[in-house]
Each structure stands twice: as structure tokens, then as C-alpha cells.
Amino acid sequence: MTSVSVDADPAGRSPRAGRRVPLSWIGVVPFLAYVGLFLLLPTALVVIQAFGTPEGQPTLANVRALGESYVLTAFWRSIQLSFATAAIGAVLGAVLAYIVVQGPADGIVRRTVTAAAGVLAQFGGVTLAMAFMVSVGNQGVVTLLLRDVGVNASGGWLYELSGLMVVYLYFQVPLMVLVFLPALDGVKPQWREATESLGGSGWAYWRHVAFPLLTPPFLGAFLLLFANAFAAYATAAALISQGGIIIPLQIRAAMTSETVLGQENVAKALALGMVVVVAVAMALYSWMQRRSSKWLQ
């Protein structure tokens, strides 16, 4: 666009401007090339090869594999896991954030909790799996201590869906604290005072002011947590080394199985299914966030 108008200029009037147009494009080329090669191309490969055979022929067989009962079961378990940890994580995280907000803004409690939440929300993978194995696994510290007091606790539940739920809460709750604290900070004390001066009780304040205002950011945070749990792989993979009880582990199984020919493109179909779920949750999240930013700033 601009180059056209520059070319139309009488020659020699602004030689610098003439040089600048191609130069300014060159500035973003390395970035675009990198992103194109290592972000957009792999994503496109997932989408395209999900509908193709390893030889490149178009097929619907991979996508049809999504309808197989073991895949549907894994999807259902993944959704259960993400929904439960997002719901529990959102409630517990909101409670924790509320406790923190009640204290002084520069107090030790708030600073410790925010710093710890920032660290723990990123914490996952092998180390987290290991931390839970050595605390509540079969030979874990807590299991052995409980056995000493006579409670016969076995650590087998840790390697099932219920175990994953507890482990996932370890990063879901801190993430909720991080996401929800700014929303709680946006609730102005003047609103409470206004309610009181109009004769409203504490209940009226919560029912008509705070709760309606905090609902969109709460739902938004819930969606973010859902996507976060749905996409998580490392923790589950380190905890459960065989099989595919949830979709991420199904993808691992499909990627590593070399015995079944043509299976690698099933992994792409599964990945496509996953990215659709995550993208829908994230899109709803950003929509919610835009809605709530009107009031809570």
C-alpha cells in the first residue's frame, strides 16, 4: 500500500522514504520466519495430517478413530479431570485470594502467598509427580506416618484419576489465586460503603453488588483452569508411565506405538481434538475477561 504512494512521489523528493519502506518490512522477517517455521507450520501439520495417511493421501480414518470407544472414554475422563480440578481449584483459589485481599496490601501474608502462587502455578511435571509419590505414594512419608498411627493407607489411588485430581490441584489453586487476585483488588471498598449508606446489609452487598460483579471473572478463571488442566501432559506422564487413561496419555501412546502402522497420524487427530477443546475454552475466557474489565480495573 505505502510503497505505491511512495513510487508515485516525484523521484528524488524523499529518497530516504523510498528506502525505508522495504527496510521496515525486513525488520519483522526474522520473527515471522521463526514463528512460521516453529509455531504455525507444526500447528498446520497437525491439522493437515490429521486428515491424511502417512503417505499423504487424504483420509478420514484418523478422525474416525476419535469415535472409538477407548478414545471417547479417555476424552470423557480428561473432561472430568479438567472440570473437577477447575471447579475445586477455582473455589479454593478464590477463598485463598479472598483471605489474602482482606489483609494489608503490603503485608507478609499477601507477599508470601503471591510469590508462592507465582512459583507453584508453574510447577509441574516430573518433580511434582515425584513430590506426591514420596509423600502419599506406597512408600511415601505421609503414608508411612499414617501407618504408624494405625491408618492403613495405600498409595495406589495416586496412579488413578483420583490421584491426578489431587496432584493437579497443586498447580490449579495457585493459578486461580494469580488470576483472581486482580479481580478482587478491583472491588472498591466504596461500593460496600455505598450499600451500607443506602441501608443494605452485608448480605445485600454480596447478593447485589460483589457477587454479580465477580461472577464473570470467576467463570473466566474457571475456563482458564479448565484449559490448563486439559492441556497438561508432563505431570500425568511422569506419574502414570503406561496406558492412556486421559487424552494426553493417549497421544503419547499413539506417538510412541511403532507396532501399529499408520498410528502416528492418529496422534495428530487426537491432538486436533485437544486443541479444539482448549481453543474453545480459551476463547470463552478472553471474552469473559473483556466483559469483566469494564468494571473491575
Mark 133-152 with x for binding to another protein (rule: CB under 8 A) and - for no binding.
Answer: xxx---xxxx-xx-------
SS3 58: strand
Segment 147-153 long-range contacts (CB within 8 Å, at least 24 positions apart): none
Q: Which stretch binds another protein (CB under 8 A): 68-76, 91-99, 202-210, 214-222?
A: 91-99
**What are the grid coordinates assigned to 144, written together?**
508411612
**Count of residues interacting with another protein (CB under 8 A):** 87
Residue among 87 and 95 whose Cβ is closer to another protein: 95
Residue among 8 and 26 whose Cβ is closer to another protein: 26
Per rule CB under 8 A, is residue 44 in the interface with another protein? yes
Per rule CB under 8 A, is residue 124 in the interface with another protein? yes
Please give the residues from 260 up to 279 whose contact with another protein meets the rule CB under 8 A.
264, 267-268, 271-272, 274-275, 278-279
Which H/E stretch holds residue 3? helix 2-8
Any idea what DSSP says for residue 139?
T
**Among 67, 69, 49, 68, which residue's Cα sits nearest to residue 57?**
49
CA–CA distance, 160 with 90 (Å, rounded to integer): 22
Least separation, in Å, of the C-beta of 42 and another protein? 3
- Residue 113, classified by CB atoms within 10 Å of its CB into exposed (0-12), middle (13-18) or buried (19+), is buried
Residue among 36 and 212 whose Cβ is closer to another protein: 36
- Write down the H helix ranges in 154-263: 161-185, 189-197, 202-205, 211-231, 234-239, 247-256
Per rule CB under 8 A, is residue 60 in the interface with another protein? no
Mark 162-201 with x for binding to another protein (rule: CB under 8 A) and - for no binding.
Answer: -------xx--xx----------xx-xxx-----------
| Whether 213 contacts 187, CB under 8 Å | yes
Per rule CB under 8 A, is residue 128 in the interface with another protein? yes
Residue among 10 and 94 whose Cβ is closer to another protein: 94
| Whether 137 contacts 119, CB under 8 Å | no
Place of cell 497420524: 265
Residue among 10 and 297 whose Cβ is closer to another protein: 297
**What are the grid coordinates assigned to 293, written together?**
474489565
Q: Which stretch binds another protein (CB under 8 A): 9-17, 25-33, 69-77, 197-205?
A: 25-33
Per rule CB under 8 A, is residue 155 in the interface with another protein? no
Per rule CB under 8 A, is residue 125 in the interface with another protein? yes
Per rule CB under 8 A, is residue 106 in the interface with another protein? yes
Cα 78 from chain centroid? 13
Residue among 25 and 76 whose Cβ is closer to another protein: 25
Per rule CB under 8 A, is residue 52 in the interface with another protein? no
